[in-house]
Amino acid sequence: MPLPLSEDDKFHEECGVFGVWRHKDAAALTALGLHALQHRGQEASGIVTLDEAGLFHTHKGLGLVGDIFGDAKVMASLPGSAAIGHNRYATTGETALRNVQPLFADFEFGGLAVGHNGNLTNAGVLKRALVRRGCLFQSTTDSEVFVHLIAISLYSTVLDRLIDALKQVQGAYSLVALHHGALIGARDPLGVRPLVLGRLNDGWVLASETCALDIVGADFVRDIEPGEIVVIDDSGIRSVTPFSNTESRFCIFEYIYFARPDSVMEGTPVYDTRKRIGAELSRESAVSADVVVPVPDSGVPAAMGYAVESGIPFELGIIRNHYVGRTFIEPTDQIRHLGVKLKHSANRAVLEGKRVILVDDSIVRGTTSKKIVEMVRQAGAAEVHMRISSPPTTHSCFYGIDTPERSALLAAKHDVEEMAKLIGADSLAFISLDGLYRALGKPGRDSAKPAFCDACFTGDYAIPLTDMADNAERRSALEKASA
């Protein structure tokens, strides 16, 4: 079976958010925070500030934070002591500037800016109803649904309108909002996506991850709770919990791959967790070998944990080219067959004649894994054993992660033995679901009430997939009609 070609075969976090209240360099801090959150979205970024006169200022661009906000003139055009910012990962065709967040709108009550990490599962249904009502959509983002719901709400305060809107949407979201009286942070009732609160002198910071607090020198205060709305204004911070049912179903993949290793999520350091996952993986699927080699960079901590637990030396058998960044060599035929080598190269001195354990965080389509195994063999490896620090990804994510359709997921159609053959490895093993929960400090997975959202491994979708059902229904109505 020929595998499709893909340079980058990973799930992708779709966004990062950041907010500051009461700091004279609000825009600069936001730029730094977005820079620290760059791994959560590299296609576009935006910042909206609010100045002392109550005026909003905005700058958005396509590209990396440092390029968009690296110009002193740009920073000077963003005065004010409050700001929110947003990094965006965009799927094909939708990198238009009008989709770059934060979204901003002039309402009857004044301006409001909103930045949103996550994905709504009933955005399509809501959007059709809004258009019927006469609302004009300008972007193709889910997030604009929030803005229209706020605009047409009959409540009078900003906060009540926001709650009114949140109660109508379904999905996973962490959002930051800024209006002339307050900075607001909110997390969906299951707390699927992260959002943390920090303190910086007498001001406040909201961010997707703690690494963004660290870069601006803010102290971590706490995670925003599932279903919690925090309102930060000059009188301080207060918490609103408008949802009757909340429980914690934090995204387990943040630990495996999305979050930066130096972040602390829901009380647990990501780096430590990854090493523990590696150790657990070693216990579950030991194999006799000479070296443990990570697939850089995301596989490194798990490989270290694996190596220590197994006693097999950890070696850098694959070198990553740091200058790939946004660079892009167009896939002429000559170059295409050289495949993954633009990003990685084999370190022959480490691999030649060795039995190699390769540690990676996940297998999505399998294309990269296949090339990595091939490259390692070409460099002279005697055996290649692939070990994966997540369970098989058998289902798509609809909660803010860019994943291929289910049919493109290798694990959705093949068992582990077939997958090993397809990627060309001598052996392949994934960590078990219970092993993953154990590495996270749980006794195992409680299938009645799982501690995390693990839908990509289990298909157990905790938030209804309304649009998907609606589409299926429309199609079946159509099929009936045409029958």
Binding site, by residue number, is: 251, 298, 360-361, 397, 453, 456
CA distance from start to end of the chain: 37
Please give the residues from 218 up to 277 whose contact with a second copy meets the rule CB under 8 A.
Answer: 260-262, 264, 269, 271-272
Structure tokens at 440: 């996270």
197 binds a second copy (CB under 8 A): no
- List 314, 398, 430, 457, residue binding a second copy (CB under 8 A): 314
Neighbour-count burial of 151, counting CB atoms closer than 10 A to its CB (0-12 exposed, 13-18 middle, 19+ buried): middle
Q: Which residues are annotated as part of the binding site for Mg(2+)?
A: 298, 360-361
Nearest to 393 by CA among 306, 339, 316, 459: 459
Residue 138 burial (CB count, 10 A): 11
Please give the residues from 422 up to 461 whose contact with a second copy meets the rule CB under 8 A.
Answer: none
Strands 44-50 and 56-62: antiparallel
Please give the residues from 316 up to 335 whose contact with a second copy meets the rule CB under 8 A.
Answer: 316, 319, 321-330, 332, 334-335
* Whether 411 contacts 423, CB under 8 Å: no
Q: Interface with a second copy by CB under 8 A: which range of 69-77, 246-254, 399-407, 467-475?
A: 69-77
Nearer to a second copy, 169 or 230 (CB): 169
Nearer to a second copy, 150 or 363 (CB): 150
- List 114, 195, 304, 456, residue binding a second copy (CB under 8 A): 304
Rounded to whole angstroms, the Cα distance separating 481 from 479 reads 5
* Whether 199 contacts 221, CB under 8 Å: yes
Please give the residues from 101 up to 130 whose contact with a second copy meets the rule CB under 8 A.
Answer: 105-108
Nearer to a second copy, 234 or 330 (CB): 330
* Whether 262 contacts 214, CB under 8 Å: yes
**Minimum CB distance to a second copy, residue 210 (Å):** 9
Backbone angles phi, psi at 403, to 5 degrees: -125, 155
Q: Establish whether 135 is a catalytic residue.
A: no
Q: Interface with a second copy by CB under 8 A: which range of 236-244, 246-254, 336-344, 416-424?
A: 336-344
Query: What single-letter amino acid sits at 139?
Result: S
**Minimum CB distance to a second copy, residue 371 (Å):** 13
Structure tokens at 66: 């440092």
Rounded to whole angstroms, the Cα distance separating 80 from 55 reads 9
**Minimum CB distance to a second copy, residue 213 (Å):** 11
5 binds a second copy (CB under 8 A): no
Strands 250-251 and 452-453: parallel
- List 2, 134, 353, 443, residue binding a second copy (CB under 8 A): 134
Which of 15, 27, 125, 252 is the catalytic position?
A: 15
Please give the residues from 392 up to 411 whose contact with a second copy meets the rule CB under 8 A.
Answer: none
Nearest to 103 by CA among 69, 151, 64, 42: 151
Q: Which residues are annotated as part of the binding site for [4Fe-4S] cluster?
A: 251, 397, 453, 456
Query: What single-letter amino acid sits at 423?
Result: I
**Minimum CB distance to a second copy, residue 291 (Å):** 12
The catalytic residues are: 15
